[in-house]
Structure 1
Amino acid sequence: MSTGDITDGPIVAGTDGSERGTDAVLWAADMAARRNRTLRIVHAFSALEGFGTGLPPSAEIYETIEAEAGRVLASCHDVAKAVASDLRIETAKPSSEPIPALIRESRSASMVVLGASGRGGFTGMLAGSTAVGVASHAQCPVVVLRKHEDGSAAPADGPVVVGVDGSPVSEEAIGVAYHEASLRGVPLVAVNAWLDVEYDSAFNQARLYFEGGPYEDDQERLLAERLAGWQEKYPDVHVERVVVRDRPRHQLLQRSATASLLVVGSRGRGGFSGLLLGSTSQALIHHAHCPVMIVRHERDAHRG
């Protein structure tokens, strides 16, 4: 996915039957209805979950677990149909751990949607291992459905916010963000926060205070160049350009409070080549106040 247009595959919602999982189904159903896509609801279950004996479960136990998975999917199917009665819906209940099952689904999906935390999660809890694991390895964009601290949903008319740093995966994130803003009919806020090291150091503090105007001019030029082609493709999208001397995570977390969606690359220009999920994207899926879409570079996605 190098053009910014999301593929024609289904929108996959991963659910475990929890409230957060149901929220993911609702959000994905709305996306699928607006895009005329199939919604695929996936509830992966492990037959050994909760038994811990290392022995295969009996046929009776397996049937009980599978029946519960069927009930979860039936309930989610009804919830999704209430969003749009003509929505095309598929369901799947692979007998597998959730992370590998959803990564397999990502190979043919247009996006995977997950709750920030699942069954057993507490209000305000950091994103669960499933969200982090799938975002790290999926081969399509992954949306981690986060809300405001009071539990309220992000405003539907809020802007789409995208982090821009000039890296290859950032290029793909820009395209996806324009696409999302156009479909939603909302503005796009493109943020280039160019104090991009993720830790405090004497060098970083010196850079903050002694780098002058020319460097900031370079960053403004970089942002303008990265947006130019996309503005021609999506002339209907109003764009606000933000160039600021700050850490990306700080700027993006602040702006998530009023955004409808936050779009970032899986790792930026400061990431190590073997790092699947950078520290900025991890911070956002743990702490943002709106849904976060993680976009991986096509080359990295195939490698992951």
Structure 2
Amino acid sequence: MPSPSPYPVVVGVTGTSAGLAAVRLAAREAVSRGRELRIVHAFTWSHPRLDQHYDRARRDATQIVDAAVATAQRSTPGVRVTGQLVDGLPDQVLLRLGRSAEMLVLGDDDLATLPWLPTGSVLVQTVARAWCPVLVARGGRPHAGPVLAAVDGSESALLALRQAALEGARRHVPVLVAHVAEQPGTEEEGREILSRAVAAVPELTDYTTRLFTGAPGPTLVRASSRARLTVLGPRGSHQAGLLGSVARTVLRRAASPTLFAHGRPVPGPRHAPESASDPVGAWDGGAQLVR
């Protein structure tokens, strides 16, 4: 068996429709990056030698991987794909594989239908703790539109903006850099946050900035309905815990595929041209747009 290629796109599957949507998205991402797609299913069994159902369960798990590989090949001709059954707890398997992956991709598993976000879920643990970017798939093919990058002045948000710049360039679409001012009277501070953010990411060339007012999480969720991809950090400047409040809301309810940024620090600042801001009324996301 050939050795796995370095830095593959890794997608975790469980046999659900959400998992197969993630496979299709991951296959497109792998081809666009020139990477191998690695499909994994984590298999856990407490006492295999003492359980008569172990062999059947392992065969079923293998069939989940095989079906996912076939889905990737059908949906994206030319994708280089391997499938693997990996023994271990799902979150631990994904976090370990993420250390040498270009990206982890997971399905959303209908989070929006749940009354709360289960912090112990594999998806939440992976989004919060991975070493590489984590892309969460949302149903069918992504919408047309720009890459939406949410910034709040934190280092995590700047890392997300750098990732958004790369994703916009790869997709040949502009980046919409958005900040949501939650309290009235903080608009000027919001404009400064936008200015500092774009100045800190020299890779960002094709972009507009947008300042919204409202509740940050719901506002970004509405804006995501017209985005090809939404990119943000897993937590803000002053938020502890696994995920920040905005990230939790966007993870549950975003309408577009959502990329949670992890990785290296952002490079130093540069001067931001004043002409970068170009408000477009169609992007008000249902919230008030501050011009």
Q: Distance in 1 between matches of 2:165 and 2:242?
A: 24
Classify the secondary structure of the residue corresponding to 1:93.
Answer: strand
Aligned to 1:136: 128
Aligned to 1:174: 161
Q: Which has the higher contact order (CA 8 A, sep 6+)?
A: 1
Of residues 61, 64, 67 in structure 2, which corresponds to 1:69? 61
Q: Distance in 2 between matches of 1:297 and 1:27?
A: 21
Aligned to 2:29: 31
Aligned to 1:199: none
Q: Is the 8 A contact 2:162 2:203 kept in 1?
A: no
Aligned to 2:16: 18
- Answer yes or no: is 1:218 the counterpart of 2:184: no
Which deviations, in whole Å up to 9, do the C-alpha atoms of 1:54-105 show, x marking residues without a partner?
x555365322222112211111111111233432222221122211111111
Of residues 215, 222, 227 in structure 1, which corresponds to 2:198? 227
TM-score (norm: length of structure 1): 0.77
- Answer yes or no: is 1:164 the counterpart of 2:134: no
Q: In the superposition, relative to structure 1, how do residues 122 and 177 fare at CA in structure 2: closer, same or farther (>3 Å)? A: closer
Residue identity opposite 1:11 in structure 2: V
Q: Distance in 2 between matches of 1:123 and 1:285?
A: 9
Q: Distance in 1 between matches of 2:82 and 2:141?
A: 26
Q: Is the 8 A contact 1:15 1:41 kept in 2?
A: yes
Aligned pairs for 1:185-264 (under 5 A) are 185-195=172-182, 208-209=183-184, 211=185, 215-230=186-201, 232-235=202-205, 237=206, 239-264=207-232
Query: Does 244-253 or 15-24 show the bigger shift?
Result: 244-253
CA drift of 1:42 comes to 0.6
Aligned to 1:3: none
Identity of aligned residues (%): 28
Q: Is the 8 A contact 1:266 1:297 kept in 2?
A: no
Of residues 236, 241, 258 in structure 2, which corresponds to 1:292? 258
Q: Distance in 1 between matches of 2:26 and 2:104?
A: 8
Q: Distance in 2 between matches of 1:123 and 1:219?
A: 29
Residue identity opposite 2:190 in structure 1: Q
Q: Is the 8 A contact 1:165 1:194 kept in 2?
A: no
Classify the secondary structure of the residue corresponding to 2:43.
Answer: coil
Query: Does 84-93 or 33-42 show the bigger shift?
Result: 84-93
CA drift of 1:116 comes to 0.7
Aligned to 1:203: none
Aligned to 1:47: 45
Q: Distance in 2 between matches of 1:164 and 1:234?
A: 14
Q: How many residue pairs get matched?
A: 257
Residue identity opposite 2:103 in structure 1: M
Aligned to 1:276: 242
Q: Distance in 1 between matches of 2:155 and 2:9?
A: 24
TM-score (norm: length of structure 2): 0.80
Aligned to 1:58: 50
Classify the secondary structure of the residue corresponding to 1:9.
Answer: coil
CA drift of 1:169 comes to 0.7
Q: Distance in 2 between matches of 1:241 and 1:123?
A: 28
Query: Does 127-136 or 166-175 show the bigger shift?
Result: 127-136
Which deviations, in whole Å up to 9, do the C-alpha atoms of 1:166-199 show, x marking residues without a partner?
111111000001111111112211111132xxxx
Aligned pairs for 1:83-98 (under 5 A) are 83-98=75-90
Q: Distance in 1 between matches of 2:95 and 2:112?
A: 26
Classify the secondary structure of the residue corresponding to 2:42.
Answer: coil
Q: Is the 8 A contact 2:9 2:26 kept in 1?
A: yes
Q: In the superposition, relative to structure 1, how do residues 123 and 254 fare at CA in structure 2: closer, same or farther (>3 Å)? A: closer
